[in-house]
Amino acid sequence: MSNFDIIAINIYLIVLIINILKNKTIIQVYRFFKLIIFAMFIFAIAIAIEDNVSYLNLLLKGIPLLLVVGLVLEPEVAAIFKKLGIFGHGLFSETIEDVTKNEVLKSIEFMSQRNIGALITFEKNASLQEFVQTAYPIKTTLSNELLSTIFVPETPLHDGGVIIRGDQIICAGAYYPPTDRLDIPKQLGSRHRAAIGVSEISDALTIVVSEQTGNISVALDGYLDLDVDHETLVNYLETHLQGKS
CA distance 69 to 145: 37
Distance, CA of 77 to CA of 38 (rounded, Å): 12
Whether pTM exceeds 0.85 = no
**pLDDT of 233 over the 70 cut:** yes
- DSSP letter at 244 equals -
Answer for the pair 123, 206: CB distance below 8 angstroms, yes or no: no
The answer on pLDDT for 162 being more than 60 is yes
Identify the pLDDT of residue 94.
47
| pLDDT top residue among 240 and 139 | 139
Query: Do 162 and 121 contact (CB within 8 A), yes or no?
Result: yes
Report residue 84's pLDDT band, with 50, 70 and 90 as the boundaries: low
Q: What is the dihedral sign for C-alpha 80, 24, 233, 95?
A: positive
Give me the phi and psi of 87, to 5 degrees please.
Answer: -65, 140
pLDDT (tens digit per residue) in 3-46: 778 888 888 888 877 666 654 555 566 667 778 888 888 888 88
What pLDDT shows up at residue 135?
Answer: 94
| Residue 158: per-residue pLDDT | 86
pLDDT the model gives residue 41: 84
Q: What pLDDT is attached to residue 89?
A: 41
Q: Which of 47-51, 144-148, 191-195 has the lowest mean pLDDT?
A: 47-51
Answer CATH for 96-241 from 3.40.1700.10, 2.40.50.140, 3.30.70.1560, 1.10.10.10: 3.40.1700.10
In the chain, where are the structural domains located?
A: 3-83, 96-241
For residue 38, count CB atoms less than 10 angstroms from its CB and return exposed for 0-12, middle for 13-18, buried for 19 or more: middle
Predicted pLDDT at 245: 45
Write the secondary structure of 211-233 as one string of H (helix), E (strand) and C (coil): CCCCCEEEEECCEEECCCCHHHH
Lowest-confidence pick of 13-17, 107-111, 139-143: 13-17
Question: Residue 93: pLDDT above 60?
Answer: no
- Give, in order, the Cα–Cα distances in Å from 28 to each of 181, 188, 235: 24, 22, 9
> Residues 218, 222, 225, CA angle at the centre, nearest 5°?
30
Helix (H) or strand (E) holding 136: strand 136-141
Interval 176-230: pLDDT, tens: 999 988 878 878 889 999 999 999 999 899 999 999 999 999 999 888 999 999 9
Residues 6+ apart with CB under 8 A from 157: 136, 150, 151, 172, 173
Residue 92 predicted with pLDDT over 60 = no
Distance CA 166, CA 81 (A): 24
Q: Is the pLDDT of residue 87 over 70?
A: no
Identify the residue with better confidence: 64 or 92.
Answer: 64
- Do 108 and 102 touch, CB atoms closer than 8 A? no
Pairwise CA distance, residues 65 & 74, whole Å: 14
- Asked if residues 14 and 36 have their Cβ atoms less than 8 Å apart, the reply is yes
pLDDT at 206: 96
Return d(Cα 124, Cα 242) in angstroms, integer: 10
The mean predicted confidence, pLDDT, of the chain is 82
The total of other beta-carbon atoms located within 10 Å of residue 82's CB is 14
